[in-house]
Amino acid sequence: MKPLQIKKIGLYVCLSLLWIGLTPTLRAQTELKENKNFEILKNLEIFSTAYKELELNYVDEIEPGSLIKTALDAMLRSLDPYTVYIPESDVEDYKIMTLGQYGGIGSTIHTRNGEVYISEPYKGFPADKANLKPGDKIIAINGEETKGKSSADVSTMLKGQAGTTFEITIERQGVSKPITVSLTRKEIKIDNVTFFELFPDSIGYIRLDGFTQGAAKEVKEAFFELKKQGMKALILDLRYNGGGLMNEAVQIVNLFCPKGIPVVSTKGKVEDKNTVYYTMDSPVDLQIPIVCLNSRATASASEIVSGALQDYDRAVIVGERTFGKGLVQNIIPLVYNSQMKITVSKYYIPSGRCVQAIDYSHRDEEGMANKIPDSLRTAFKTKAGRIVYDGYGIEPDVELEEEMTTNVGVSLITKFLIFDYANEFKRKQEKIGLVKEFEITDIIYKDFLNFMKDKDYSYETRSESLLKEFKKYAQADSCYKEVEPELEALKKSIAKTKENDLIKNKEEIKKMLKAEIASRYYYQAGRAEAELKGDKIVAKAVQVLNSTKEYSLILGQ
């Protein structure tokens, strides 16, 4: 027998043995797939049968769409908070969230005691041009009363095709009769960069509040404008920015990093969709020192920007540890114009780390998903060799906590008392001058205290809440009478400490008043500028940028 024939026979034998060895594995895989398919079909049939029996037998009429949506929502809630069903009626709202544009009047609204009010018109848009003001109560739209409707219902009524006209009827404080005005809807594009300014010492500041379409372009334009004014260092403020479009994050990193380097990669179940996103363009500046500001609410695309800049040692991160959202969602079209937003992958920044903080695939006995424990976090290295960790957001290079709002501050905001006073202030005073020069003087604060004399700003402290709970248990244990005098004395003592809250927390309340009043004259940009005064985290960023030695030391240069 020829050697070639022997080799062929040997190859056939090897292949046969390999097939024999693989056959049980392939059979097992086939059986697993068939079992899974059977489970799917079985449970779909159970669901279908259960719904049919409800329709036939339930005592009251049931609403099919509402019931099925409830079932879908409950099913998806068991996965993660970002995988959601989007009915046709909500598709437009998701377009606004991703593209940052919609047909409407250009104003935020809020509900208060069952009625809807104008909160904050955007400068230059239909609501502003029609002279609608914060605090105007919306009582009718095209003659249809709004009382009892939610802000979501009224928002739907206000939105529509750009170019369409409708009438809005409002009630205004100090005006005896309702006002009806005609408005023409416009394509509303929400700005991502709400404020930018050149500080002393040639330090530029850009506040980025969103990652909708065009965010990178807005940052680039603000950057060039600041460069014209003589900027030599930059603060990029991403605090409370919940993220948005990944491609905008990649482009923003590209402004300050070389062309052709990876910014973020995605890994999921469908391998064909796993992607590495690279910088595609020439940067605008590779040398300018940068400090990036983060907060605990900095998330998603914001974490890609700050994380990539940290991994490439391109910026010092100042502030708080970020939220830790390392999951990527895609919008998947369904039948009947509905959609589903599905978590399809995790993302990884240049060092290789994923910032996802919560493990939704493993839940405790109560069904709660928990944060990834420190023991399971992995160390990675930045380009310069600095140690960074995965599993819980972006840790700052310089950690500083945001100041927490006091209980009385929360009460003044949630009960719209700061909001109402700002409206009254604007009615009395036509101008305030430049925001940077405007202050809440003692005279203004005294006026605010007079305004508050007949207002309810009560709130329940944690101590009062615990006392209530203790009272409940004491009554259940039949020992309340014995401890009642001490409990009442404690209650009175706590109440007494709250009497002078408006005086004790004067400085905090002044900051709130300044920001709210500034927004009445200079819109969102005025609010942003006013909030900078006395900002300790911004002050620290300025300090770091003013010290070449400290900046370089932090980055390991």
CA 489 – CA 461 distance, rounded (Å): 16
In degrees and rounded to multiples of 5, residue 271 shows phi and psi of -60, -35
- Give me the DSSP letters along 372-424: PPGGG--EEE-TT--EEESSSSPPPSEE-PPPPPPHHHHHHHHTTHHHHHHHH
Is there a catalytic annotation at residue 300?
A: yes
Of the residues 133, 159, 186, 325, which is catalytic?
325
Q: How far apart are CA 431 and CA 522, in angstroms?
A: 10
Looking at residue 73, what DSSP letter applies? Answer: H
Active-site residue, selected from the candidate residues 311, 390, 397, 420: 311
Please state, in angstroms and rounded to a whole number, the distance separating the CA atoms of residues 21 and 18: 5
Q: Indicate if 123 belongs to the active site.
A: no
Q: What is the CA radius of gyration of the chain?
A: 29
Task: Give the integer Cα–Cα distance in Å for 140 and 454.
Answer: 30
Q: How many residues does the chain have?
A: 557
Tokens 């593209």 identify what position?
Answer: 99
Give strand pairing partners of 436. Answer: none
- From 155, 265, 300, 345, active-site residue: 300
**CB-based burial of residue 263 (10 Å sphere; 0-12 exposed, 13-18 middle, 19+ buried)?**
buried
Q: What is the DSSP string of 98-132?
A: HH-EEEE-SEEEEEETTEEEEEEEPTTSHHHHTT-
- Collapsing DSSP to helix, strand or coil, 317 comes out as strand
Task: Count CB atoms within 10 A of the CB of residue 192.
Answer: 25
Contact between residue 517 and residue 428 where contact means Cβ atoms under 8 Å apart = no
User: Is 325 in a helix, a strand, or coil?
Assistant: coil
Residues annotated as catalytic are: 300, 311, 325
